[in-house]
Amino acid sequence: MSSIFGQLVIGPPGSGKTSYCDAMSKFLEKLGRKVAIINIDPANENMKYVPKVDISELIRHDEVMTTLGLGPNGALIYCMEFLETNVNWLIGKLLNLKDHYIIIDCPGQVELFTHHKSISCVAEKLEQNLVRLCAVQLIDSHHCSDPGKYLSSLMLCTSTMLHLALPHVNVLTKIDEMKKFSDRLDFNFEFYTEVLDLQYLLEKLNENPFTAKYKKLNTALVSLIEDYSLVSFIPLDISNQSLLLQVKNSVDKANGYIFGGNEPRDIQTLLACAVGAVSETEKMSTIHDYL
């Protein structure tokens, strides 16, 4: 039985998940891949794409709120637990897409990926049925403009990576908007993407009148992130083909698609040449064009 490869796209509200799913699916189709977007966010009302599978076929967020008298977050958790209970419905849908590369658009509530178990259990069941996923976590690059927000993003990524236990790629989105706040960046862009010496970040946190009140907590969080040393970021502007290619390549390595995918090598090579398989030096040159 051949494997199905794909991405589990996660991230906080506003990080650009739906736009990413749409842009990445169109980009992959240029490779000759057959792509299916799977929506498992029951509250997703602004889809730019037409999903091949939609959780609303199984359960509706608004109906749960009305029937059970739950608020938006409570209803969302109920929907995810319902999906976990009925995971065979999703498995059956995906097994009918064996010749497709799948992109799963997930809800934005971060607690679903840091300590709630339903999506983690769903991902585990999919893995058992030869669905090879890579979690793609999107973080808005605006968080780099504030040391406290950046530290929170690092904690979120670390917690999610440990909780989901999937191959994982972290992406800084919307770098095309960085000129708006580039004057507020305390460090060069490589510091934020490579997650360099966080003692410098700790100094900035301790200089701020608000965050300085939590010196011991800041120190503990920075130490935790450095001890695990799991997080780095790939920058992305979804309108830039070279940056989309870098994310695609990283995901293909993480989920094993480069070893088990069916994409013809000549198509991969032609596309890489067409959009520019850039070196690290060229990549950073591209990023600095945004600043």
pLDDT category of residue 132 using cuts at 50, 70 and 90 = very high
Instruction: Give residue-wise pLDDT tens across range 201-239.
Output: 999 999 988 888 999 999 999 999 999 999 999 999 999
Domain ranges across the chain: 4-187+230-288
d(CA 88, CA 95): 10
What's the confidence (pLDDT) of residue 259? 87
Instruction: Give residue-wise pLDDT tens across range 13-44.
Output: 999 999 999 999 999 999 999 999 999 999 99
Torsions phi, psi for 50 (to 5 deg): -105, 110
Contact yes or no for 136/103 (Cβ under 8 A): no
Domain 4-187+230-288: which CATH class? alpha beta
Q: Average the pLDDT over 155-162 and give the result.
A: 97
Order of all β-strands in the sheet with 168-173: 53-54, 35-39, 101-105, 4-10, 131-140, 168-173, 234-235
d(CA 152, CA 160): 12
What's the confidence (pLDDT) of residue 264? 56
